[in-house]
Amino acid sequence: MTANIRIAILGAGGRMGRALVQAIAGEPRLSLAAAVDRAGIPELGIDAGTLAGVAPRGVPLSADLPAAVRAAEVVVDFTRPEGTLAVLPLCVASGKALVIGTTGFTAPQKQAIEEAARRIPICMAANYSVGVNVCLQLLRTAAQALGPGYDVEIVEAHHRHKVDAPSGTALRMGEAVAEALGRKLADCAVYGREGQTGARDGRTIGFATVRGGDVVGDHTVMFLGEGERVEITHKASSRGNFARGALRAAAWLPGRAPGLYDMQDVLGLR
């Protein structure tokens, strides 16, 4: 099968960007059209395949964002919120689909993405792992079956370089549980405990964050009841599964109506 969907990768010089270039090299439906990163980094001009440890792709790492968007059918963004907000109007103006893997958005930034999704198809997920998205379904089922009598705590661990906390995946897991219990996460989340906190409020959902080493991503949701504990855990050992899921979304988006989709849509789980 010849390549037929042209992909531009934002943040292509980073850990996740390189994993995406590696994954594209093994995906016959897709071709790498552009690889972009921020201006001034020493890797600019180096072939994206060489940076990713695969055969050269004939695509040098560039800082020219508008040119990258023009060259692609789908833009895949794993940068930071300011990078996403920079590419968003370019995708809207040119009618290009966008896959967003960035996390840590503020409410106004999320609103900007939602407004753009009225014009173009956007897939935004806190985690593109197929396994994580199956876990989200399991969490909804567990929360509904166990009910409000179980305390919920979420523990996540990531590498020392991660800049936001809790992780977007942990927050999405909390949202899935809260929705299943008829709550809003914003009203019941507890992000830290210290000192004389008093007895636990049974309606809260607690978060604990661990940062260190090279942990790719571990998430555990605990449902703690009287005499038993149910745990649903996902552990990632490489970024390859995230990259493959993001490219699955990129292959799914072309031709879709404008809208804000996620991996539950891509996988047919909704």
Please give the pLDDT value at position 238. Answer: 87
Query: What integer is the mean pLDDT of 251-268?
Result: 95
Q: Are the CB atoms for 159 and 215 separated by under 8 Å?
A: yes
Confidence tier at 3 by pLDDT (50, 70, 90): low
Cα–Cα distance, 223 to 22 (Å, whole number): 37
CATH number of 130-236: 3.30.360.10
Length of the chain counted residue by residue: 270
Residues serving a catalytic function are 158, 162
Please give the pLDDT value at position 1. Answer: 36
Please give the pLDDT value at position 4. Answer: 87
Q: Are the CB atoms for 108 and 117 separated by under 8 Å?
A: no
pLDDT digits (tens, 9 = 90+) for 13-55: 999 999 999 999 888 899 999 999 999 999 999 999 999 999 9
Cα–Cα distance, 247 to 268 (Å, whole number): 16
* pLDDT at position 65 over 90: yes
Which residue, among 32, 101, 38, 121, has the nearest Cα to 72 in the 3D structure? Answer: 32
pLDDT digits (tens, 9 = 90+) for 106-118: 999 999 999 999 9
Q: Are the CB atoms for 253 and 123 separated by under 8 Å?
A: yes
Phi, psi of 208 (to 5 degrees): -130, 135
CA neighbours within 13 Å on the CB side: how many for 227?
Answer: 0
Query: What integer is the mean pLDDT of 222-241?
Result: 95
Cα–Cα distance, 31 to 118 (Å, whole number): 27
Query: What integer is the mean pLDDT of 224-232?
Result: 98
Please give the pLDDT value at position 269. Answer: 84
User: From 1.10.3720.10, 3.40.50.720, 3.40.109.10, 3.40.50.300, which CATH number describes the 5-124+239-266 domain?
Assistant: 3.40.50.720
0.95 surpassed by pTM? no
Three-state secondary-structure class, residue 142: helix
Q: Where are the domains of the chain?
A: 5-124+239-266, 130-236
